[in-house]
Chains A and B, each alone.
Chain A
Amino acid sequence: MNQTSSAQSDSTAVATPTFAVLQLSGCSGCEVSLLNADVWASQQELVYMPLVLSAEDLPPVDTLLVSGAVYSDDDLHRLQQTAHRARRVVAVGTCALSGGVANLGNRESARRVFLDDTSRRHLPRLLPQLRPVDAVVSVDLYLPGCPPTPRLFEAALKLGEPFEPAKTVCQDCGRIKTRDRPDRLARHSGVAIDPEVCLINQGYLCIGSSTRGGCGAPCTRAGHPCVGCRGPSNGFISRSADEWFAAIKRVFERMTAISREQIDAELRSPGLSLFVFQFADYAGAPRDIEKVL
C-alpha cells in the first residue's frame, strides 16, 4: 500500500490516484470481494473504507465505490453528503444497482410488517421505497454482480490489462449443449447434475444466455443455474423486461419441450431467486451501455 511512501514523496511527484468505499445497506460481500482484488500492493491509495480503515470522514477522492442500496434515511444522508466529493462515482453490486435481495422487502405485505416492526428510537428509519444509488446521485460507472468478482473490481479501478468481458455468462460457462429436450423444469434438490452438460438441457431455469458475462460463470460451472446477478447483456440493457423474458422463453423453446406458459410463470414468480437479483426494479430507466462494466 502506498500511504507510507506517498507521505514521504516530494510534492512535485504525480499524486497517487485515491479511492474510497462507501457502504450503504448491504452485506459487505462486495467489500470482501474487493479485498481479493489486486489493488492493495500497488497503484491506488485507499483513503476511506470503514471496514478496514479507521478514518474520521470521507475526504475529496478520485474514485468513490458505493455498495449497498439506499434503504434508510441514514443511507440517503451519507450518500448525499459524500458523493460530490468524488470525481467519479462507481455503483458496485446488485444492491447499489437495483436494490438486490432486500428489494423483496418492497413487496407490500412484507413492507407492512417491516414498518410496524421498526419502532426503536434513535435509529435510522427505513425509507418507504428502497432505491438504487443512481436514483439519488449521478453515477459514472456501473459494476453489476452479487458480488462483482475481484477481476471486475480491478477493471473498474483501471488496473492492469484492458478488460473485455464475455458478452454473456453462457460464453463464460463452457458446458456442452446437447439435443436432449427435457419436458419439465428440474428443482435444485430433485436430480443429480451432470457436470458437463448445459443446465438448460438438464431442465434448469438458467438465464446465462442473456445475462452479462465477465464473471467467469462460477455458479453454472459449479452446477447452479445462473440467476442473472450481473443483469442484462448489452443486447437487453435498453429494452423492456418483457423483451428480455421473451428472449429467455425462445431459448427454452429451442432447447426444451417445457411449455412457454410454465417458463413465463416461473420467470415472473417474485419468490424465485433470479427475481431477487434482477427483475425487481427493471421498470427503472435503462442505463447507458457505455457506463456498464
Chain B
Amino acid sequence: MTTLTIPLSRIEGHARVVINLAGERVLSAHFQATELRGFEHFVQGAPAEQMPIIVPRICGVCSTAHHLAAVKALENLAGVTVPPKAVCIRELMMLGQVIQNQATSLFLFTMPDLPGQAGVPSLFHLGEVHSKIAPRALAVRRAGTQLITLAGGQFIHPVRAVVGGVSGGIAPRAAAEMRASLNQALTRASFLVDAYWDLFEGLHDRIGTLGDDSPTYYLAAIDRGHAYYGDRLRVMAPDGSVQAAFPPCDYAEHLTDVPIEGSYSDGTLYQGELVRANSLARLNIDPHPTTPMARAYTERFWQEWGYPAHAILLFDVARGIELVYAIERAIELLEQDLDGDDLWVGCTLRDGQGCGLIEAPRGPLIHHYEVQGGLVTSARFVIPTQHNMLAIERALLVAARRYVSSAGISLELERAVGRVVRAFDPCIACATH
C-alpha cells in the first residue's frame, strides 16, 4: 500500500489529507484535523455567564457565531425572549460575520486556485491583469469587520450580546455611515463576484468537472428569505425534497457524532446518511434570497447549473452570492430604528440545560450547556465543519479516483485535493475546539 500525505494551506487551522493507494486503486481518502485545545473539558467549572466571552476564542474566524450561540443557549436556559431590536442588531453582527468570512474564503482562500494552468500561491500573486482584485477584496472584507464592530463592539471576539438582549444600540448617524460604507462595498463585491465567476468558468473549462460526487442530504438553520438568525434546523434530501425541520434541543435525535480515524475532529451523520452544510446547502434549502442583486445572481446560478445543485465546487460560487446578499440585507436592516431603551430584558440565569443555535458561515452551530450552581457542568459544541467532515472525505475519494489511473498519479491530484477541501471552507479550530 502507498500512502500519500498532502499538506493543506489556505484553510483555517491545521489539517492534512491522506490517500491510501494499492497500485492504481484508491483505497481510501482521509481528511485529518491535527490540532486540539479541549474547550468541552476546560470550560467545565467556569461561570455560565462567562461563556459568551470565553467560547468565541474557539475560533477567531467564526467568533461572532460562537458569541451568539452561547448567548442563545443561556437564554434558552433562562426562558427569556429577546426584544426585536436586539434580534436585529444580532442579525447585523452575523451579516458582518458572513461578509468577512465569505470574502476571506472566496478571495484569500479559493480564488488563487482559479487562474492559469496551476493557480497561484496567494491572492497577492494574481498578477497585473487582476491587479484590482486584491485591494478590493480586502476592502470588502474590512466592511464586514466594521459591521461586526458597530453591532458587536469588536470584530474578533465581540462582546455586545448579553443574556436578554444587547448591551447597546446603533445610533442613526453611525448607521448612516455604515450604510454608505456598505454601498461602496456592494459595488466592489459585485465586481469581484463577476471576476470570480469568469475565472471559475475558466477553471471548469480547464479541468472539465465541478466535482463528480453524488448528492447528499443538506443541512441549514436559515429562515425563509435567507435570514441568518434561525431557530430551527432544516434538511433537504438528496432528491431535493424538503424534510422535517427540528429545534436545536433535538439535535441528538437527528445528528450522530462519528469519530474519524486519525483526526481530532468527529464527523456528523444525519439519520445515518452523509450530509453537507455551508453555502450550497443554504442556497438549495432557500433558493430565493430576498435582495435584488443576490436574487439576480441566484437566478443565473440555477440557470447555469440547475436546481438543486450538487457539484462540490459550486459551494464557492454560492459563497459569492451570499456575500452580495449579506451586504444588501445589512443595508436594509440599518434603515431601521436600532437605538433606544428597548434593547434588553432582565432575567436570571437558573440551573438546568440550554441549547442555542445560529447559522454560522459554515452551517448550523449549536452550543449545549448544563449548568449547576451557576457553573457549567457540561458543554457540548455541535460544529458546522463537523457536519461536512464525512462529505469531504467522500468527495476526496471521488476526486482521487479521477486523478489516479494506470498511467500514474496526475499532477492535478494535489490541486484537486486543495480545491475540494477549500470548497467546504473547513474551520479546524472550530471542528476540534
Is there a chain A Cβ closer than 8 Å to B26's Cβ? no
Residue of B nearest to A103 (CB): B42
Which residues of A are found within 8 Å of B61, using beta-carbon distances? 27-29, 32
Interface range on chain B (Cβ under 8 Å from partner): 35 or more
A272, B135: Cα distance in complex, Å:
41
At the interface with chain B, which of A9-17, A79-87, A105-113, A234-242? A105-113
Q: Which of A99-158 contact B (CB under 8 A)?
A: 100-102, 104-105, 107, 109-110, 113-114, 117-118, 120-124, 126, 146-147
Partner of B38, one of A32, A114, A222, A270: A114
Whether the Cβ atoms of B153 and A104 lie closer than 8 Å is no
Assuming the A-B contacts A32-B61, A147-B60, A189-B164, are A53 and B35 also in contact, with contact meaning beta carbons closer than 8 angstroms in the complex? Answer: no
Q: Which of A34-42, A173-181, A253-261, A282-290 contacts B (4 or more CB under 8 A)?
A: A34-42
Q: Beyond A105-B42, A124-B35, is A100–B57 a contact (Cβ under 8 Å)?
A: yes
Q: Which residue of B lies closest to A100 (CB)?
A: B57
Q: Is the CB of A50 within 8 A of B10?
A: yes
Residues of chain B contacted by A74 (CB below 8 angstroms): 14, 34-35
The answer for the CA separation of A213 and B53 in the assembled complex, in Å, is 20
Cβ contact within 8 Å between A110 and B34: no
Which B residues touch A272, using CB under 8 A?
Answer: 47, 50
Q: A117 with B41: in contact, given A40-B138, A53-B10, A223-B159 (CB under 8 Å)?
A: yes
B347 x A218 contact (CB < 8 A): no
**Interface: B109 (CB within 8 A):** yes
Chain B residues with CB below 8 A from A187, complex form: 49
In the assembled complex, B13 has its CB within 8 A of some CB on chain A:
yes
In the complex, which of the residues B9, B11, B123, B138 has the most CB atoms of chain A within 10 Å of its own CB atom? B9
Encode B7-33 as 1/0 by CB contact (under 8 A) with A.
001111110000000000000000010
Residues of A within 8 A of B54 (CB): 101, 273, 276
- B429 engages A46 (CB within 8 Å): no
From A116, which residue of chain B is reached at the shortest CB distance? B41
Known: A33-B156, A36-B145, A120-B264. A28 touches B12 (CB 8 A): yes
List chain A residues, Cβ under 8 A from B232.
none
B124 touches A46 (CB 8 A): yes
The smallest C-beta distance from A148 to any residue of chain B, in angstroms, reads 10
B162 touches A27 (CB 8 A): no
Q: What's the nearest-Cβ distance from chain A to residue B215, in Å?
A: 30
Whether A29 contacts B60 in the complex (CB less than 8 A), given A52-B10, A54-B121, A107-B42, comes out as: yes
- Cα(A190)–Cα(B418), bound, Å: 48
Q: Is the CB of B157 within 8 A of A29?
A: yes
Separation in Å of the B153 CB from the closest CB of chain A? 3
Known: A105-B42, A189-B49. A218 touches B149 (CB 8 A): yes
Taken residue by residue from 70 to 104, chain B's Cβ proximity to chain A (1 for < 8 Å, 0 otherwise) reads as 00001000100000000000000000000010001
Q: Quick one: which of B46, B160, B375 has the most chain A CB within 10 A?
A: B46
How many angstroms from the CA of A25 to the CA of B10 in the assembled complex? Answer: 17
- List residues of chain A with CB within 8 A of the CB of B14: 23, 74
With both chains docked as a complex, state the minimum distance between the C-beta of B210 and any C-beta of chain A, in angstroms.
Answer: 21
Given A107-B42, A121-B262, A147-B157, A25 and B167 touching (CB < 8 A)?
no
Residues of chain A with a CB closer than 8 A to B10's CB:
50-54
What CA separation (Å) do A270 and B263 show in the bound complex? 30
Cβ 8 A contact of B37, one of A105, A219, A221, A273: A105
In addition to A120-B262, A218-B154, A271-B47, 20 A-B residue pairs with Cβ atoms within 8 Å of each other are A3-B124, A23-B14, A27-B59, A28-B12, A29-B61, A30-B60, A31-B60, A32-B104, A41-B135, A53-B122, A54-B9, A54-B418, A101-B57, A123-B262, A124-B34, A188-B50, A188-B163, A218-B149, A223-B153, A271-B45
Which residues on B are within 8 Å of A, measured CB to CB?
A: 9-14, 32, 34-38, 41-47, 49-50, 52-54, 57-61, 63, 74, 78, 100, 104, 108-109, 112, 121-125, 127-128, 134-135, 138, 141-142, 145, 149, 152-160, 162-164, 167-168, 261-264, 341, 344, 346-349, 375, 418, 429
Subset of 18 A-B contacts with CB under 8 Å:
A4-B127, A29-B60, A31-B60, A33-B60, A35-B108, A51-B12, A55-B9, A105-B41, A114-B41, A124-B36, A188-B163, A191-B346, A218-B154, A222-B167, A224-B153, A224-B159, A270-B45, A273-B54
